[in-house]
Structure 1
Amino acid sequence: MEDNLSYLSEVDKNLKVIQLTLFMVKVELLRYTPDGIKLIAESCRVSGIPPDISDEEVVRMVVENDYSSVLEHIVFTFDVSEISVALSRELLEHRIASHTARSTRYHDERNFGYVIPPPIRNDPELVEMFKQAMESAREHYVKVFDKMIEKGYSKEKAREVARYVLPMATHTHYVWTINARSLINFLGLRLCKRAAPEIRELAQKIYDIVVKIYPEIFENIGCRGYNLGLCPENEARPKDCPYAKIIPTKKKIKETWKGKVQK
């Protein structure tokens, strides 16, 4: 899927670009496993893959047929910044990865940046209320810090306590290492229309990076519905899902054979 947006209508493409602009999550690839296609193919040949099949064909077969344990030999490390603490909580749900986050114990956070959630972006009144809440948190962070210093606490202790005032919208900074198999799982979940917009932006930007490096692995990866050919979201699938009229739900597929197959 070219730039992973080819399945969308022009309206949906424009909408997605708007969503990406709202957050501006920053993603930089720090390192990745080189010669990954050859590595995967050679690993597969240990199990008896014929030598007359090209390395690229082997990898595409592995991905399409979900013989995916071999993909764990490929690892990517990303620098991810200007994401919210709220997003970082979702990122931690992807446990087969290595997470290193900016420490609020050792950094002075009085000048923290923050994310304004998209649903209120076009409502000046709510945006102003949100900004006031952020500035109030900043003010109280400084007050707690300064009062602790005044009372004789060390800067280390003052930072450690004051950080509890920080809101979920606060920017944080991550270094994230993940193997290709787990990354496909991440993309399948977070490219979905139901995913929170901020982490969906992160998933899209990561996809745009890795598909250029290893198209044999990622060119046919999208949300879970696209990957599986059926949507596990069932009734929860949003009405504006681009696959709603193309890909059936898991529940619908099961209804066609349930009771007809002997257990």
Structure 2
Amino acid sequence: MELIAYTPEPEKIVAAAARICYSQRGAAEILENMEDKEVDRLIKLLLSCGHESPVEHVTFTFAIEGVSRALSHQLVRHRIASYSQRSQRYVSEENFPYIVPPSINGEPEALEIFENCLSQIREAYARLTKLVPREDARYILPQACETKLICTFNARSLFNFFRLRCCSRAQWEIRALALKMREVVRQVAPRLFAKAGPNCEVLGICYEGPFSCGRAPVVKSRGEIEEE
């Protein structure tokens, strides 16, 4: 995963967007006179009061490779984002690379079953592409297929993504991706993403009910917090 583009001076842009709501000055004048301490103050204020619409003005674009179709199916559920993914209709998947889950890779018998199955799928796919269009042959391809994509999120959508996918209950592959994405955006906008993450980290509470990992008190129905 690589952060390939982002809004220049993202924290300053967010601060200016917040300031313009309560100022008679124009955006250009606000940006010109915006000092770093004011940026810091406004970002802290926005995040503390939950006023997140100004953070939608900055975007971050990621190039993602070496992940499975199982991951990309989860990723595109985050609908407030833009995606471009390698096509299985136009790009041949003959001898496709694939992702092996750690649980399978660490169990010899499971790994043998897994690799034998994928070998049969590769052979069947190669035979099918000689008989039918590639767009139809792809129907037998597994979720283990490696894929590549580019995606763009605004910062508010990233807050939601990190809240759900950095959680210890998230599926292992997308959680690993989310943690790496959070690491790189914190390098370019540390104040903006300082508290981005699962509810247990940000709020000190958990909404996972009986599925909670136990890291934080669980919020029950009607807003009650379960006693430890």
What corresponds to 1:16 in structure 2? none
Q: d(CA) in 1 for partners of 2:131 and 2:10? A: 54
Check if 1:251 corresponds to 2:220: yes
Q: d(CA) in 2 for partners of 1:124 and 1:86? A: 22
Q: d(CA) in 1 for partners of 2:166 and 2:155? A: 16
For the residue of structure 2 that corresponds to 1:112, the secondary structure is coil
Gaps of 5+ in 1: 1-26, 149-157, 258-263
1:210-245 deviations in Å (ceiling 9; x for gaps): 001000111222212222321111211135xxxx2x
Select the residue among 185, 196, 213 that pairs with 1:221: 196
Select the residue among 160, 172, 179 that pairs with 1:197: 172
Q: State the one-letter code of the partner of 1:162.
A: A
Gaps of 5+ in 2: 24-33
What corresponds to 1:237 in structure 2? 212
Q: d(CA) in 1 for partners of 2:201 and 2:113? A: 39
Q: d(CA) in 2 for partners of 1:57 and 1:213? A: 18
What corresponds to 1:141 in structure 2? 125
What corresponds to 1:123 in structure 2? 107
Q: State the one-letter code of the partner of 2:73.
A: R
Inter-CA distance 234–192: structure 2 relative to 1 (3 Å threshold): same
For the residue of structure 1 that corresponds to 2:87, the secondary structure is coil
Q: d(CA) in 1 for partners of 2:69 and 2:81? A: 18
For the residue of structure 2 that corresponds to 1:217, the secondary structure is coil
Q: State the one-letter code of the partner of 2:183.
A: D
What corresponds to 2:160 in structure 1? 185
Check if 1:47 corresponds to 2:16: no
1:110-155 deviations in Å (ceiling 9; x for gaps): 021111112222210001100111111111100101234xxxxxxx
CA RMSD of aligned residues (A): 2.1
Select the residue among 2, 5, 12 that pairs with 1:38: 12
Preserved CA contact (<8 Å) 2:219 2:225: no
Check if 1:108 corresponds to 2:92: yes
Normalised by the length of structure 2, the TM-score is 0.88
Inter-CA distance 252–226: structure 2 relative to 1 (3 Å threshold): farther
Q: d(CA) in 2 for partners of 1:238 and 1:120? A: 23
1:171-197 deviations in Å (ceiling 9; x for gaps): 111110000000010001000010000
Q: d(CA) in 2 for partners of 1:238 and 1:194? A: 7
Preserved CA contact (<8 Å) 2:46 2:52: yes
Q: State the one-letter code of the partner of 2:4.
A: L
Q: d(CA) in 1 for partners of 2:185 and 2:66? A: 20
For the residue of structure 2 that corresponds to 1:54, the secondary structure is helix
Q: d(CA) in 2 for partners of 1:256 and 1:218? A: 26
Q: d(CA) in 2 for partners of 1:255 and 1:234? A: 11
Q: d(CA) in 2 for partners of 1:174 and 1:64? A: 34
Q: d(CA) in 2 for partners of 1:128 and 1:256? A: 46
Check if 1:163 corresponds to 2:138: yes
For the residue of structure 2 that corresponds to 1:59, the secondary structure is helix
Inter-CA distance 139–237: structure 2 relative to 1 (3 Å threshold): same
For the residue of structure 2 that corresponds to 1:146, the secondary structure is coil
Once the two structures are TM-superposed, the CA of residue 254 in structure 1 deviates from its matched residue by: 2.8
Q: d(CA) in 2 for partners of 1:86 and 1:256? A: 34
Q: d(CA) in 2 for partners of 1:71 and 1:248? A: 29
Q: d(CA) in 2 for partners of 1:113 and 1:235? A: 37
Sequence identity percentage? 38
Inter-CA distance 194–256: structure 2 relative to 1 (3 Å threshold): closer
Q: d(CA) in 1 for partners of 2:205 and 2:144? A: 34
Q: d(CA) in 1 for partners of 2:139 and 2:40? A: 50
Q: d(CA) in 1 for partners of 2:175 and 2:184? A: 14
